[in-house]
Structure 1
Amino acid sequence: MAIPDPVRTNFNTLLRAAGDGNLALMECLDAETREVRYVLCAVGREAGDYVFTPFGHLADGNPYDAYLPPDPGNPTGFLSQPETGGAS
């Protein structure tokens, strides 16, 4: 599966921010559910103020249960069951 260019650009911006030490983890409130979320943000400066650009939030609970990864045997498909493993 091809990752869309705007998503790739955002990811590269996030990598640059991390490499420059301009990455923050902020506690925010989800605008729809009103649940607390921990949001990864790039930090910039504008007119002497800090600007936080949100990129996404950390997964609640076990991330292996939250996502279905791509199927290595099917370039357009996803695995039907989450694979457990790795560090939590």
Structure 2
Amino acid sequence: MSIPSSARSNFQTLLRAAGEGNLALMECLDAASGAPRYVICAVGRGDGDFVFTPFGHLSDGNPYDAYLPPEPGDHSGFIHLATSGEAP
């Protein structure tokens, strides 16, 4: 699967902010659930004020349990967990 150019652009912005020391970790509330989230933000300036641009939040619990990686050798698929209780 191909990563969209908008995601690549946002990633470059995030790298640039990190390189310049312009990242912040903010405690916010999830707009849908109201649960606390710890959000990674780029920090900029606008009209004399700080501007915080959210890029994503840190995973609750074990992040390895939250994501399925791409399938090695198959660029169009992802590794799927076994649903029958078997190990992947």
Task: Work out whether the TM-score is over 0.5.
Answer: yes
TM-superposition CA deviations, 1:33-59 (whole Å, max 9, x none): 000000000000011100000000011
- Name segments (4+ residues, structure 1) moved above 6 Å: none
Q: Compute the displacement of 1:73 (Å).
A: 2.2
Task: From the CA coordinates, give the structure whose radius of gyration is larger.
Answer: 2
1:49 match = 49
Match of 1:84 in 2: none
**Which one has the bigger strand percentage?**
2
SS of 2:71's equivalent? Answer: coil
- Distance in 1, matches of 2:71 and 2:5, equals 21
Q: Provide the alpha-carbon RMSD of the alignment.
A: 0.6
Does residue 33 (structure 1) correspond to residue 33 (structure 2)? The answer is: yes
**What TM-score do the two structures reach when normalised by structure 2?**
0.89
Shift of 1:74: 1.1
Provide TM-score, normalisation by structure 1: 0.89
Cα deviation 1:7-56 (Å, max 9, x = unaligned): 00000000000000000000000010000000000000011100000000
Q: Kindly, what percent of the aligned residue pairs are identical?
A: 70
- Can you give the 5+ residue segments of structure 1 that lack an aligned partner in the other structure? 82-88
Matches within 5 A, 1:13-24: 13-24=13-24
Tell me, in whole angstroms, the C-alpha distance in 1 between the residues paired with 2:78 and 2:34: 30
Q: Which runs of no fewer than 5 residues in structure 2 stay unpaired?
A: 82-88
